[in-house]
A and B are shown apart, each in its own frame.
Chain A
Amino acid sequence: MELSQAIFDKLLAHLDADRERAGEKYEMIRRKLVRFFEWRGSVFPEDHADEVINRVAKKIDEEEEIRDLKNYFYGVARLFFLETLKEREKEAAALEHLPQPLSDTEERDESAPRLECLEMCLRNLTAENRELIIEYYRKEKGAKIENRKTLAKRLGMPLNALRIRTHRIRARVEECAIDCLKKSPGR
């Protein structure tokens, strides 16, 4: 079911009176829905998230009384997830026919476009962010922890704030790399 502009506008208005803030809230809810389906093991988390948004928008359009919109989104997502359990069995069966995971040798061959995309995405960052993320992920095991503590001290921020900051940069890089891989030939 496609959402009409009018219904989508109603959904946004329900999220916030200010359209810009409503847009941000919409993005956050969609991100949560996608991750909910991903963490519950769905093969098509984005499609399912969109279906939930459509259903909630439809309920809003029908003027159903909704007390807590965030909880309502979650409730509809959970119900939809239950509905798709059967579909998932079919999906799992279909996936069994897909090629088996790559062996180590093949994995190395496949890693070239990934590295290229990642390097391109890292280059798109500001020098400061690029240096930060490279430094954060550089060391292994015990040295990694010490390295991060030193980095946090150097930047004058608590370790947890550094974790969150690098996570945000990493999320941007990850989205960029996924997008780049979709566009790269042979994919």
Chain B
Amino acid sequence: MKQETRNHKLIVQYLVGGLSEDEKTRLEQQYFGDDDFFEQLLVVEGELIDAYVRAELSGREREQFEAHILASPVRRQRVEIARALVECATQSSVGVLPATEKQEAVTWWQSLLDSLGAKNKAILLPLAAAVLVIVAGASLFLVETVRLRNQVERIQADRAELLRREEELQRQLAEQGTHNEQLASELQRERSQRELLEQELAKPPGSALSSITFILTPDLVRGAVEPKRLIIPRGAEIVRMQIDLDADDYTGYRAVLETVDGIRIWSNGSVKAQPHISRKVVTLRLPASLFTKGDYILTLSGVSAGGSLEDVGDYYFNVVKK
């Protein structure tokens, strides 16, 4: 239940633009991979919009909602439709629901009596008695049938609920298993990469590792239509990545390198900025063997004095090996 509430809060924060870039990315990866979680997001979004149109949001929530959600024409339209839906529902007399035609309450036995007419009154009494006996018998039969049917339906519903719970548990078990496997394989990959890196870096200076330097600047993120291309020539052993910083406001930096499909291939949580000519730069040294042909994204975060991580930038590039 606590997990559910935490998820709900996280989703609401995502929808009103209140998450950090890292948190957004994690949540987005989750809903791209999990259809049920995506549906949960849509449900929460619908409820958030309803709460807004019914004026049930607190002052701060309302401000966040208006600043983020109402800024988009598509979402404004969703809000207006929700407003209309609530209006329709609260005044259902507007004719949304087709009025059920009230039929004249003339029962079959009244019709029968009418057709017999006043002239046959002599037979009415025994006939009425017989009808009463039949009706009583039929009613008992009907009551018993309904009781049995309700019982069967209840049992079927319980069975369906049990099956659903079992499926849910199996799904959770499978997810947990996959998650564990992913963690183990990630750990293994990180270990091998670290070993590889240590081996390459441990080579004596005389062995003169051939390296290639690649400079990443913020304009790679915001202006470029195509990702920057990094050509790694045959024989290159080290790729030096230099990131120019606008300012050095952090005690340290964390760099994470991922493939475009989100596979983490390298990370370092204790990077320091260094002076370079008249500015500060972060320099990363990575084995060229880490890279294969494809698109990559490097995420740099700053570690604040309080120890929290803040986004510095995402740098993306395309690797070509010659």
Contact = CB atoms under 8 A, between A and B. Distances in A.
| A is bound by B | yes
Interface of A: 28, 31-32, 35-36, 38-39, 41-43, 45, 64-68, 70-76, 78-79, 82-83, 85-86, 101, 111, 114-115, 118-119, 122-123, 127, 130-131, 133-141, 156, 163-164, 167, 170-171, 173-174, 177-178, 181
Interface of B: 14-15, 17, 25, 28-29, 31-33, 35, 38-39, 41-43, 46-47, 50, 54, 56, 68, 70-75, 77-78, 80-81, 83-90, 92, 94-98, 153, 157, 221-225, 227, 258-263, 294-295, 297, 314, 316
B97 A134 contact: yes
Given A71-B32, A118-B88, A167 B42 contact: yes
Q: Which of the listed residues B17, B73, B74 has the most CB atoms from chain A within 10 Å of its own CB?
A: B74
A140 B90 contact: yes
Nearest to A116: B84
A173 B88 CA distance: 13
Q: Which of the listed residues A35, A78, A138 has the most CB atoms from chain B within 10 Å of its own CB?
A: A78
A123 B33 CA distance: 35
A75 B297 contact: yes
A32 B15 contact: no
B79 to A, nearest CB: 11
Contacts of B75: 38
Contacts of B316: 79, 82
Judged by DSSP, the binding face of B is helix
B56 A141 contact: yes
A32 B225 CA distance: 23
Contacts of A164: 39, 43
B33 A71 contact: yes
Contacts of B260: 72, 75-76, 79
A72 B261 contact: yes
B42 A75 contact: no
A67 B33 CA distance: 13
A75 B89 contact: no
A38 B69 CA distance: 9
Nearest to A182: B77
Contacts of B297: 75, 78-79
